[in-house]
Structure 1
Amino acid sequence: MAPNKPLKLPLAAAEVDRSAHLRSDATYLDSAWPDAAVLLFCDEKFATNNDQLLFTTGTELGKYQDQSDYFLGVKDAKPFFVRHLESNQIEGVEFKTLREVGSFLSARDIGLAVHAQGLANWHKKHPRCAVCGEKTLVVLAGSVRRCPADQSEHYPRTDSAIIVLVKDEADRILLGRQKVWPKHRFSTFAGFVEPGESFENCVTREVMEEAGVELSQINYLGSQPWPFPASLMIAFEAITHTPQLARPDGEEIEEIRWFTRSDMKNAIADKSLILPLEISVARQMIKAWYGDNADKDLVGNESWR
């Protein structure tokens, strides 16, 4: 079997130049703010309008606030920021999660959203110095936090996680269902990379732990950010020559199923299978394996959990 082609992953879009050299230019940031396009973000949600991100201008929001306004970059000479709000109670504005609107967004807006959410989540969860415990300050337009007591600098966390599409020699795929998921919701196998572990070793370990099969022919497919709250998903496919040994671990994975393409089509039709979100790596791996009719045959319920 030939390996799948590299995936085109929805959240991997990056059309905006992050312009890191401008983050330390206070004069530029102050002058760019009034006409900048600004996203509003609070508690995992963006201000939206008709399932699109709602942009406002800096002028409408007042003065640039260096502790809550994070610079996202420039595209076609237009600067972009996100304002990190403490409350989303803004009259007449609807706030929605990236999971809800992600599949409706342009490549530009997807890239802005994952950058903005990643920064905002990190700032909210890491307000103090990991060295001395002092409250840190936002510097470099949101890309760093600095401790005023010991001058240590702290950078946004990104947790590496592998995700793998397991196939057998007959080109079936193996999917699993976690205990916490809704009934019929199945997905590919995934897990966080541990200290001192390579991506490939993590793939082998996670699949053995969760599904009990050995792997060979591990192939890299692509990567995309997954800011829920701070992951980078590294996608692989792999072949197992021991499909008969497949079994759920009984702890995290409660049920596993092998699927042919006809099995999957029938399961979608009779509602005995719920697939992951369209914006997820898992969904894109499954669609790439299924082939040209995926958008027609695999239409149905989807769930992020």
Structure 2
Amino acid sequence: MLSIPASRPNAYTGSPLDRVSNLRDDAEALAGFLRSPDALFAPVWHGRNLLRGAAENRPEAVFLSPDAAQAVRMAGGPWALLGLWDGRPVFAVDCSAAEDPLPLLPEGMGSLLDLRGLAGLLPAGEASILAHARGLMHWRTRHRFCGVCGHGCEPRSAGNAMACPNCGAQHFPRTDPAVIMLVTDGARCLLGHSARFPAATMYSTLAGFVEPGESLEEAVRREVLEESAIRVGEVRYHSSQPWPFPASIMLGFHAEALSEAITVDPNELRDARWFTRDEVRDPEAAGFSLPRVDSIARRLIEDWLENTP
């Protein structure tokens, strides 16, 4: 099986932040970061990020100054230190408690939008920071209580951990590993359509979560077999992509098919088909659409096309 390298970084990777994990429990350093007039705050509202320029297809992230951020922080939502960006402290702040946070901000600050539709157009590094903020705030807002004893937790490590004052348990942000794979037989690739897809015509790579006690290669073979009845042999790693929607990391692979007869699991997919290179190069003519450009699924498909005859 041909080893296909990643042609370029995936969306949401390449963060410019120094996460300064060694300073998260340093109260004096944290206080200094919060007092800094150069501090930047990335607001998150119900999983949406603050952006401007989206209507012109030139989106850019909007970071709040300390004064502007204080208005949304007063809503009482969680906040956390993300790291340093060229020496400037960067924080995430969740303002979901506000019915509409935009009136609390200076006029013309932008709009609260779903990052996934715009990440491929954002300047380098900004998509990574906004995704980081979204994922961490999602975890903070949904893990307020101890999973051991049920008591309310308190933030620690500059908002990057939670601690239970009752039983002493410590809780850290969770990232669920998921495998995503383009299965090929040399001349064709296997793509499936799920009822969960945003477009009725979209076909994408197969994917699934890694189960306890399972290697990544085993997860690839199991998921493909369960969803399509296709047996997989060799599995080669391609790249990874943070996917904090809400809390996953996608581990991308190319996989070699050992069989070709498809039997779809209707609980997972509506349809699965083999597609030729010509069909994938011109999906509109073939009557289907590919996954969006910010996804590792699209990168797996494009790199297969670019690296095979």
Q: Quick check: TM above 0.5?
A: yes
Count residues with an aligned counterpart.
Answer: 289
Corresponding residue of 1:288: 303
Q: How many Å apart are 1:289 and its aligned residue?
A: 1.2
Counterpart code for 1:45: R
Q: How many Å apart are 1:254 and its aligned residue?
A: 1.5
Corresponding residue of 1:46: 49
Residue of structure 2 aligned with 1:80, choices 81, 90, 101: 90
Q: How many Å apart are 1:12 and its aligned residue?
A: 2.1
CA–CA separation in structure 2 for the residues paired with 1:26 and 1:108 = 28
SS in 2 for 1:141: helix
Counterpart code for 1:75: W
Task: Report if aligned partners of 1:67, 1:142 keep a CA contact under 8 Å in 2.
Answer: no
Q: How many Å apart are 1:67 and its aligned residue?
A: 6.6
Corresponding residue of 2:266: 250
Q: How many Å apart are 1:10 and its aligned residue?
A: 1.4
CA–CA separation in structure 1 for the residues paired with 2:47 and 2:230 = 36
Q: How many Å apart are 1:38 and its aligned residue?
A: 1.0
CA–CA separation in structure 2 for the residues paired with 1:76 and 1:201 = 41
Which structure 2 residues correspond to residues 191-210 of structure 1 after superposition, within 5 A?
191-210=208-227
CA–CA separation in structure 1 for the residues paired with 2:182 and 2:173 = 29
Corresponding residue of 1:60: 68
- The 1:269/1:153 distance shift into structure 2, 3 A limit, reads same
CA–CA separation in structure 2 for the residues paired with 1:42 and 1:67 = 10
Q: How many Å apart are 1:59 and its aligned residue?
A: 3.0
CA–CA separation in structure 2 for the residues paired with 1:20 and 1:178 = 39
Corresponding residue of 2:114: 97
CA–CA separation in structure 2 for the residues paired with 1:171 and 1:15 = 39
**What are structure 2's unaligned runs of at least 5 residues?**
54-58
Q: How many Å apart are 1:35 and its aligned residue?
A: 2.1
CA–CA separation in structure 1 for the residues paired with 2:211 and 2:70 = 44
Which structure 2 residues correspond to residues 218-297 of structure 1 after superposition, within 5 A?
218-243=235-260, 245-269=261-285, 272-291=287-306
Q: How many Å apart are 1:220 and its aligned residue?
A: 0.6
CA–CA separation in structure 2 for the residues paired with 1:233 and 1:120 = 19
Q: For residues 54-104 of structure 1, give each alpha carbon's deviation from its aligned partner in whole angstroms, at most 9, with x where no partner exists.
A: 111113333988972210111221111111112243124410011122112
Task: Report if aligned partners of 1:67, 1:137 keep a CA contact under 8 Å in 2.
Answer: no
Which structure 2 residues correspond to residues 169-180 of structure 1 after superposition, within 5 A?
170-180=186-196
Q: Give the structure-1-normalised TM-score.
A: 0.89
CA–CA separation in structure 1 for the residues paired with 2:68 and 2:196 = 43
CA RMSD of superposed structures (Å): 1.9
Corresponding residue of 1:5: 5
Counterpart code for 1:74: L
Runs ≥4 in structure 1, deviation > 6 angstroms?
Answer: 63-67
Residue identity over aligned pairs, in percent, reads 33
Q: For residues 158-217 of structure 1, give each alpha carbon's deviation from its aligned partner in whole angstroms, at most 9, with x where no partner exists.
A: 11100010000x331110011333321110000001111111111000000001111111
Q: How many Å apart are 1:29 and its aligned residue?
A: 2.0
Q: For residues 246-300 of structure 1, give each alpha carbon's deviation from its aligned partner in whole angstroms, at most 9, with x where no partner exists.
A: 2212221111121112122343246x212112111101111111228xxxxxxxx
Q: How many Å apart are 1:4 and its aligned residue?
A: 0.8
Residue of structure 2 aligned with 1:110, choices 127, 137, 142: 127
CA–CA separation in structure 1 for the residues paired with 2:176 and 2:133 = 16
Counterpart code for 1:2: L
